[in-house]
Structure 1
């Protein structure tokens, strides 16, 4: 019996975490040429999606939506500001709070980005309905995992 035969539960191809991780890597690679036209990285695109939906959020609110640490967003947000897509301002009533606002250039990017979801759906060779069902299943899994923490 080989080492692999007695530990199927530890084989890489049997791991849900690796299937999710490797799919995420492939998804990011598929997004790359579409985002290049906008001058955005994938993490920057996620931040812009949040602001296109809710302009004027704070860094803390954005970090909660993206499930990330506010400190890890700071360099990304500084780059978006340097590129003219957003404006960061400290709240006058509490200078610890940084508010994020889209610039006219950042708002204009939204129109260009509108085609990206259909391009990604086309690359996946899945119907919109199947992709939404998969998304719903992943969101449900994420929420159950969150409850276990």
Structure 2
């Protein structure tokens, strides 16, 4: 359900590309992905693989569905990522003992050690943004709030 604002549609300017919030987010996302691509090269990870690893560094053993919920990804998108991470020796996939339908993903020792190098990625992103750490955190909070509001309206 879309919430109506307390403004009249006629108060809005004519739509232009640069006037669109979606384009600002999209183009910022493209620029962010370029930064991450460069920073993740030494870790031999793609950006989606990095997100999975971040999730597992927080909780070293999770089901595929838990990872999917955390990353807003469906299993069809997640499964190939997890297979590549397993082939790289960073995770192992096993059927759950409690529920055979669930696949549990766990970090390997190599996957755990990779976290030490990941601090360079976080540092590189903050440097590339040319923002102070508190500015980055404020922007992140605003984007999370926007995501929550948009999800309610989707």
Instruction: Tell me the TM-score normalized by structure 1.
Output: 0.92
CA distance in 2, matches of 1:143, 1:20: 15
Asked which structure has the greater RCO (Cα within 8 Å, sep 6+), the reply is 2
Give the Å deviation of 1:72: 1.0
CA RMSD of aligned residues (A): 1.2
Q: What is aligned with 2:72?
A: 67
Confirm or deny that 1:42 pairs with 2:61: no
Give the Å deviation of 1:146: 1.2
Alignment of 1:130-141 (within 5 A): 130-141=135-146
Alignment of 1:99-138 (within 5 A): 99-138=104-143
Unaligned segments of structure 2, at least 5 residues: 1-11
Confirm or deny that 1:92 pairs with 2:76: no
Q: What is aligned with 1:27?
A: 32
CA distance in 2, matches of 1:62, 1:10: 37
* SS at structure 1 position matched to 2:106: strand
CA distance in 1, matches of 2:19, 2:108: 46
CA distance in 1, matches of 2:126, 2:25: 17
CA distance in 1, matches of 2:63, 2:123: 30
CA distance in 1, matches of 2:63, 2:119: 24
* SS at structure 1 position matched to 2:138: helix
1:61-112 per-residue CA deviation (whole Å, 9 max, x = no partner) reads 0000001112210000000000100000011232210001000110010001
Instruction: Tell me the number of residue pairs that the alignment of Structure 1 and Structure 2 aligns.
Output: 143
Preserved CA contact (<8 Å) 1:9 1:15? no
Q: What is aligned with 1:81?
A: 86
Q: What is aligned with 1:54?
A: 59
